[in-house]
Amino acid sequence: MVGVDQAGLDEMAAISLNRLSARADIDESVKDRIAISILVTGGSSLFPGLVPRLEALIRQPRPYLSPLKVVRASDPVLDAWRGAAIYADSRGFSLQTFSMQDYYEQGEAGLRRHNIVYSLY
């Protein structure tokens, strides 16, 4: 749309894949496995034609014949919630969270120490 300066879903996926491709510290086989396992979840993934269109749009800026596969979650409405619930119950969750109380005590410097950084791209 004219006047909208926000990246679309396909652009964000392409940006992520381009950043991944630029990383020399990640094995090529890992990069390929990630590119062939793009998971779309959430109620919006049920829009007719979303998955094939998204795959086509992500494929356009990629090198010719590079691997790419977009799949819809088996239960797109609840799968993200289920995954988050499993993660919230794991040991890793408490190690990677930053509570409101932490923020009040440490402020933005505390966020930086936890490597929580907000960026557009």
d(CA 53, CA 49): 6
The first and second tokens of residue 116, run together, are 């929580």
pLDDT digits (tens, 9 = 90+) for 52-68: 999 999 888 888 888 88
Nearest to 17 by CA among 34, 39, 41: 34
Q: Which pLDDT score, from 0 to 100, does residue 120 have?
A: 43
d(CA 63, CA 43): 31
The first and second tokens of residue 46, run together, are 């049920």
Task: Please tell me which of 57-66, 71-80, 93-102 the model is most confident about, judged by mean pLDDT.
Answer: 71-80
Which residues are bridge partners to 70 per DSSP?
38
Q: What is the distance, to the nearest Å, from the Cα of residue 55 to the centroid of all Cα atoms in its chain?
A: 15
Contact indicator for 116, 99 with CB cutoff of 8 Å: no
Domain boundaries, the chain: 9-76, 90-121
pTM, whole model, 2 decimals?
Answer: 0.64
Q: How many residues does the chain have?
A: 121
